[in-house]
Amino acid sequence: MKKTGILLFAILTTLFSTQCYATWSIIAIDRKTGEIGIVGASCTFDVSGIASIVPGKGAIVVQAASDYFARMKGVELMNNGKSLNEILMAMKDVRFNPERQQYGVILLNTDESPLVYSGSEINDWSGEKIGKDFAVMGNILPSEQVVLNAHKAFNANRDKPLAERLMLALKAGEEAGGDKRCETQYARSAFIMVYKPQDGAILKLAVQGIEKGGKPAVTLLNQQFDFWRKEEAKKQ
């Protein structure tokens, strides 16, 4: 698996909005290593369009109605050094239909915990659980257990690198029920991306377009991730 170079403005953006209802995701940073990461999964065709990493700055997720322009506004302000509150307030502008969005924003160079906003028009179960350096959020889930289990898994594996913690947390969310529309498949698409300042690159892996009723996307992503880890180990 190849690493993707840094884009000057934002990472992993799409030209148009992509609705990603029924999604769970995690944004996280490692203040010691400078790493920034996002994982997500959904019963939609391709969930990866919910996320942007701004290298050296932080990360943003806009899911549920997944307004592209809200996310790009957040990226612009993050690049300009604005605070978490300033970024979130701008993204809640009425033109972005914030009550149909679920926002997650995290900054690397601050002691503040990430911020999450879940709009009032998002269907249940929706919500979040926030840690000091990460946040788990989801909507149209079978229960809050998806978010709680993912949060617990991330915290329980702090001895591992950020990418591993994110994958373990995403997998824990799958095992708790994932996206309720996908039943025992849990998700049709999933992704992980982690910015690594040591080599100035982004790890990006994704599974998308799995037929409904097919193999669970998070399980497939985890297999990709395991292969990537083995290949990386050979380089050491």
Q: What 3 state SS string does 196-210 have? A: ECCCCEEEEEEECCC
The beta-strand segments (E) located in 17-110 are: 23-30, 35-42, 51-54, 58-64, 101-107
Res 18: pLDDT: 45
Res 41: pLDDT: 94
Does an H or E element contain 5, and which? strand 4-5
Those residues of the chain that have pLDDT short of 70 are 1-22, 178-180
Does an H or E element contain 4, and which? strand 4-5
8 Å CB contact between 193 and 51: yes
Res 64: pLDDT: 93
Res 180: pLDDT: 67
Q: How many residues does the chain have?
A: 236
The beta-strand segments (E) located in 81-222 are: 101-107, 115-118, 127-130, 134-139, 189-196, 201-207
Domain 4-235 has CATH 3.60.20.10: yes
Going by C-alpha positions, the residue among 78, 80, 63 that lies closest to residue 108 is: 78
List, in order, residues 6 or more apart from 53 with CB less than 8 Å away.
10, 11, 12, 36, 37, 38, 59, 193, 195, 202
